[in-house]
Amino acid sequence: MFGKKKQTPQIDKEQLALIKYAEKRIKQKKRVYIHFVVFLIGAVFLILANTVLGIGKNVTIAGLDWFVIAIIFWLALFIYHFISVFITHNFMGKDWEDQQREALVAKQQQRIEKLKAQFLKEETEIAKTQAYNEVLEDNSSSQKKKSELTIIVAAGENNAIGKDNDLIWHLSDDLKRFKSLTNGHHIIMGRKTFESFPKPLPNRTHIVITRQDNYKAPDGVIIVNNLEDALDAARHDNQPFIIGGGEIYKQSMALADKIEITRVHHRFEQADTFFPEIDTSTWKEIHRQFHEKDETHKFSFTFLTYVRQ
């Protein structure tokens, strides 16, 4: 039931006729050859039958021995056979054969041209597809290479992040982590956060967002007027960081790919600035590391990493 479909021959009628004709001619010529050999053997046999075995020794026809007549008759038959194969039975003649051959060659030529055109078309399609796939790959790899916008923050249990334009706690291990994660990257911040630093942090490119037109900042600090421009300024960084404060966090939550949050295990009721609630239907926790409180850390805290899901 599921056997292979029977192949239909791809030969046209002219081609088939010519092949059949060639086969027929071979057979005819073969038969002439066999006839000739049989005739020779037969003639020798007739001669021997008469002269050695004495068969019909005295039989003559028109004064000739019977075997001579028989050989002449057979020879005439053979000549007739030969002529009919090589001269009169030349099918439709040499011209016809030439015509057929030319027609066949022309037909094959056409077929070759058609195949060439088809091949060219297919090759073009393949090339187009390959080019298209390459573009897709390029796009997807460039998407893969897309920078990972990361929010980095330390927030209390009530999401408190600061008061009076300053931090509410000092946790040295958290600062170390902040430094190591942001080292060498672009750090994007609001004007107020920038002003909360005594001086720009070393080995980071500062991008400060302000609505002010002539905001003055030390050399090397990039000043922009909106978050989009800040992201644009950091486009060559594979991991730019949003480092605060409250206003900038709020605006970048929808754009960020990752959140590195230090959850400080205390409620800071006096705070005046807060981090937005992390919606766990949008963000998936992928890492956590607890840090106990000790002599240098007044509060216990947990490093948490979220990625957008």
Residue in this structure with the two tokens 């899901």, named with its chain if needed: 309
Binding residue (CB under 6 A) for ligand NAP from 43, 149, 154, 253: 154
Q: Is the dihedral of CA 221, 224, 225, 227 positive or negative?
A: negative
| Closer by beta carbon to ligand NAP, 50 or else 262 | 262
**CB 267 to ligand NAP: min, Å:** 14
Mapped onto helix, strand or coil, the DSSP state of residue 273 is strand
For residue 75, give the amino acid letter.
L
**CB 148 to ligand NAP: min, Å:** 19
Mapped onto helix, strand or coil, the DSSP state of residue 202 is coil
Site for ligand NAP in 134-153 (CB under 6 A): 153
Structure token digits, residue 198: 């005594």
Question: What is the C-alpha separation between 64 and 38, in angstroms, rounded?
Answer: 23
Q: How many helices (H) and strands (E) does the chain have?
A: 7, 12
**CB 195 to ligand NAP: min, Å:** 8
| Closer by beta carbon to ligand NAP, 50 or else 193 | 193
Binding residue (CB under 6 A) for ligand NAP from 212, 238, 289, 309: 212
| Closer by beta carbon to ligand NAP, 51 or else 158 | 158
| Closer by beta carbon to ligand NAP, 240 or else 246 | 246
Binding residue (CB under 6 A) for ligand NAP from 43, 70, 207, 227: 227
Distance of CA 276 to CAs 56, 69, 120, 248, Å? Answer: 132, 127, 60, 10
Tell me how many degrees the CA angle 263-267-273 measures, rounded to the nearest 5.
Answer: 80
* Under rule CB under 6 A, residue 211 binds ligand NAP: yes
Binding mask 229-248 for ligand NAP (x = CB under 6 A): --------------xxxxxx
Residues 6+ apart with CB under 8 A from 155: 161, 261, 262, 263, 264, 274, 275
Q: Are strands 60-61 and 64-65 parallel, antiparallel or unpaired?
A: antiparallel
Structure token digits, residue 86: 């090589």
For residue 27, give the amino acid letter.
K
Site for ligand NAP in 250-289 (CB under 6 A): 251, 273
**CB 144 to ligand NAP: min, Å:** 29
Which of the 8 DSSP states describes residue 164? T
**CB 122 to ligand NAP: min, Å:** 55
Site for ligand NAP in 187-206 (CB under 6 A): 189-193, 196
| Closer by beta carbon to ligand NAP, 71 or else 243 | 243
Binding mask 156-185 for ligand NAP (x = CB under 6 A): -----xx--xxx------------------
**CB 284 to ligand NAP: min, Å:** 21
| Closer by beta carbon to ligand NAP, 46 or else 167 | 167
Backbone angles phi, psi at 190, to 5 degrees: -80, 160
**CB 205 to ligand NAP: min, Å:** 17
Q: Is the dihedral of CA 205, 206, 212, 218 positive or negative?
A: negative
Binding site for ligand NAP (CB under 6 A): 153-154, 161-162, 165-167, 189-193, 196, 209-212, 225-227, 243-248, 251, 273
